Each structure stands twice: as structure tokens, then as C-alpha cells.
Amino acid sequence: MEFLFEQLKNWKFYLIGAYPSGPLTGLTLNIVLAILSITIGLFFGIIFGLGRTSCRRYIRYPCSLYIDVIRSTPLLMIIFWFYFFLPVIGARLSLFWCAVISLSVYAAAYQAEIVRAGFLAVPMGQMEAALSTGMSRLQALKYVILPQAFKMMLPSFVSFFNSLFKSTSTVYIIGIVDLTRTGVIISQLKPNRILAAYVCMALGFWIVCYALSYAAQILEKKLGILDYESYKPEICRQDLVLIPLPKTVKRLLVSQK
């Protein structure tokens, strides 16, 4: 246990690195990457997801193609595409934005599927009713369909965020100093402390992911949605939590709804 405490003295390196004076590294970088890419991914996810449900072929086919192609390419491959070959066509990207964009492209495809499933879960009659009150299709989408669909999608989004957060560790391979790289660097600086460094690394990921799955569980209960797993195996999660969180944290998570 003692060697763990010794590692915890390095907490600043694990969390933010030399941030104010140097580049942002560590766990915070993972979180920033995940938040940025899920936000950008959400924007395009809605476009592609709704596009896939469109009745016009010239909209539906490109959207389906995008979703299917991205979903069947490894994330690592997507990252390499942006890393090595975006510059070939003349785009200049820093490594961080390269990671953000490739993660966003990845997230957009998965979120499009969530959006589509949520959208299809809203009864058709809702749209007809909205149209009959004189709304335009876009208005109906904005004021009637999407709010309902979003309520159903929300737990899936939280779970997907969890999965995306874990996927951000993939940027380790292109040399970005995220939490994984931080742990590996520490384990290499002090080879006899290798286990402690790995435990700290795992702990960092575990705490964030656990909080997220807890949030997803609470959302599920609040919204009373249980059957979203059937359409999204990737983000499948169960309603079991071993360690109860303190009430204050719980309240915080609930009030964020």
C-alpha cells in the first residue's frame, strides 16, 4: 500500500501534468478530448442520424454509408487517417485537434445510430399531429419530436460518453500524453514501481467511468427507460452498483438532468 501512496504524491502529473506552464496532459486531457469530441460528434450525429431516417434517397444513402464505414473501421485506423493523411491534402492540424477530429468522426457515427433509434422510438402520430397544427417539418422536429427523442436517448448518450472516454486512451499510440502515456512514462522512469504506476492509471479511468455509469443508472431510473439496450449493444450497461456514492454526489448527478 505504501508504494501506492508514494505514487499519489505524483497526483498532479497524473491529473494535469505541467499544465499552466506546459502542455495539458494526464486525466484532464482525456476528459477534455471526450467532452469536445462528444459535443462535435453530437452535432454531426444528429445530422447523420436524422439523415438516415430521411425518405429521400440522396440524403439517406450518403448518411448510411458514412455511419456504416466509420462503424466498421477501427478507431486506431481513423486516427491514423487523420494523423498521416489529412496533411497530404494540405490541411494542417496540431496533434490535439487531430485527435479531437478523429474521435468526433468516430463518435458522430455511433451517436447517429443512437439518434436514429431514439427518433424512431417516437410514435409516428406525434409528427402527424404536429404537422396538422400548422408547424413546418423543421419546427415539428425541433419542438415536438427531438425533445421526446432526446429524453429517450439521454441514458444511451451517457453510456456512450463512458465508452468514448475509455476510447480516448487510444491516442496513446500516436504519442499524445494522456493518462495512459503518463502512467507508462512513470512506470519507465522507476521500473521497480511499475505496478503502482499501472494501478494509479487504472484508478484514474475507473473513478471517472464509475461516476459516469452511476449517472447513467440514475438517469435511467429517473426517466423510467429500461429497454434501450436492444438497439445499442455497444453501450450496454447494467443497473448494478457495488459501492453507493455519497448523497451529495448523488444529488449533484441527479440535478444535472
Partner 1 sequence: MKKSSAVVLLAIIFIMSFIAYAAAESLVDEVKKRGVVRIGHGNATPPMNYIDEKGEWTGFDVDLGQAIADKLGVKLERVLVDNKTRIAFLANRSIDISLANISQTRSREEQMDYAEPPYFWTGKIFYAKKGKIKSIKDLGGKKIGVDQGSNAFIAAPQEIAKYTDQKPEMLSFQNSAEGFLALKQGKIDAYSQDAQILASIAAAGGLAEEYEAVGGAIWSPGLYGIGVPEDDSNWRDKISFVLQDMMKDGTYEKIYDKWFGPKGKSPLSVNARPRLPKDTFGDMLYVWPD
Partner 2 sequence: MKILNLRYEFDWGIPFREPYLGWLITGVELTLLIAAVTTVASLLIGTALAIMRTSRFRFLNIPGRLYAEIVRNIPGLFWLLFFYFVFPEFLPFGLGQKLHEYSKYSVIAGILGLTIDNSVYVSDIVRTGLLGVPRGHIEAAVSTGLNRFQQIRHIILPEAFRSILPPLGTRMIHNFKNSSLCMAITAPELTWATQQVESITFRGLEVTILATVFYIGLSLVMASLIIRLERHLKIDITSITRMRA
Q: Does 249 bind partner 2 (CB under 8 A)?
A: no
User: Using an 8 Å Cβ cutoff, are 235 and 163 in contact?
Assistant: yes
10-18, 56-64, 108-116, 235-243 -> range binding partner 1 (CB under 8 A): 10-18
**239 lies in the site for partner 2, by CB under 8 A:** no
Contact call for residue 11 and partner 2 (CB under 8 A): no
Asked if 91 is part of the footprint of partner 1 (rule: CB under 8 A), the reply reads yes
* Residue 97 touches which member of partner 1, partner 2, none, C-beta under 5-8 Å by kind: partner 1
Alpha helices in the chain (DSSP H): 2-8, 11-15, 27-52, 57-71, 75-80, 95-121, 124-132, 137-140, 146-167, 179-189, 194-223, 247-255
Contact call for residues 30 and 165 (beta carbons, < 8 A): yes
Residues 222 and 231: their CA atoms lie apart, in Å, by 20
Give dist(CA 206, CA 178) in Å, integer.
15
Rounded Cα gap, residues 230 and 14, in angstroms: 37
Cell numbers linked to 27 = 486525466
Nearer to partner 1, 36 or 212 (CB): 36
Residue of 150, 148, 151, 153 lying closest to 232 (CA atoms): 153
Between residues 101 and 219, which has the closer beta carbon with respect to partner 1?
101
Which range in 11-19, 63-71, 147-155, 211-219 contacts partner 1 by CB under 8 A? 11-19
Q: Site residues (CB under 8 A) for partner 1? A: 10, 12-13, 16-19, 21-23, 25-26, 43, 83-84, 87-88, 90-95, 97, 101, 138, 173-177, 182, 184-191, 194
Q: Site residues (CB under 8 A) for partner 2? A: 68-69, 71-77, 80-81, 84-85, 87-90, 162, 166-167, 169-170, 172-173, 180, 184, 187, 194-195, 198, 201-202, 205-206, 209-210, 213, 229-230, 232-234, 236-238, 240-242
